[in-house]
Structure 1
């Protein structure tokens, strides 16, 4: 069997050139393996590792959006199913794991830490605004029993 050096397609021994990659000569399997190029019949595997976790689906979606914008392969893996209450079940696992390709782990962890800081500051600002609004409402409300 002969193989294309560019795409790894497999051909019969009599074929000289790849049909999909014009101008690329075919080589035997041993030559193809020398530069560590996987053959088309060999499955390429990618190891995914946990970059972070998320406690709600909106945060998980936000993390995926950030990673996809940087072209980092990502998938979300749910860690728990059904109704779970940490007080009654004792399950302390996060709800979602954000998994990325091992070769992108460090960059993904940096990006997700920045995004987490941004989300935390946004949440803090929202909490302060809600407190201020509540204080304002209490200050302008008529005293009880005056109606």
Structure 2
């Protein structure tokens, strides 16, 4: 049997190209293992657990990048909540879930808490800087003579 290196689909030996991934290479099982690619029957069946949430997709991307840099498998997905939910239920649910395999939950939770604290501190600093700039502008406008 041959396998597509892109999607992992299994093909008979006489087939030369994956039907779903035009141009991708078909290789034997030994080559797949050498490249660290799973065979269809060896797919990842781990359960992923929610370790955090994000209010927006940019924050979710930041969390995902941080966890990936720590070699923690992760994915994020949008929740099915929205503005209408806030209006109808009064419950403002976060939009994005951050999920990791069960064996990485504790470490990922710690890292996300640290990252969230850092993002909150950066946000607070930006808000203070904006307030200071506004006060300086108001003071400069008050000091200048009006014509």
TM-score of the superposition, structure 2-length normalised?
0.65
Return the alpha-carbon distance in structure 2 between the equivalents of residues 85 and 44 of structure 1: 34
Ranges of 4+ aligned residues in structure 1 off by more than 3 Å: 39-44, 81-85, 142-145
Is 1:66–2:66 an aligned residue pair? Answer: yes
Let me know the Cα RMSD of the aligned residues: 2.7
Q: CA deviation at 1:144?
A: 9.4
Larger Rg computed on CA atoms: 1
Which residue number in structure 1 is paired with residue 30 of structure 2?
20
Tell me the equivalent position of 2:77: 77
Superposition deviation, residue 94 in structure 1: 1.3
Q: Aligned partners of 2:133, 2:44: CA distance in 1, in Å?
A: 56
Partner of 1:127: 127
Give ranges in structure 1 of 5+ residues lacking alignment. 1-18, 22-38
Shift of 1:136: 0.3
Aligned with 1:107: secondary structure? helix
Equivalenced residues, count: 112
Once the 2 structures are TM-superposed, how far is the Cα of residue 72 of structure 1 from its aligned partner?
0.7
- Preserved CA contact (<8 Å) 1:80 1:95: yes
1:70-94 deviation line (CA, Å, top 9, x unaligned): 1111111111366546245534321
CA contact (8 A) 2:85 2:92 kept: no
**Normalising to structure 1: TM-score of the pair?**
0.65
Structure 1 residue 116 displacement after superposition? 0.4
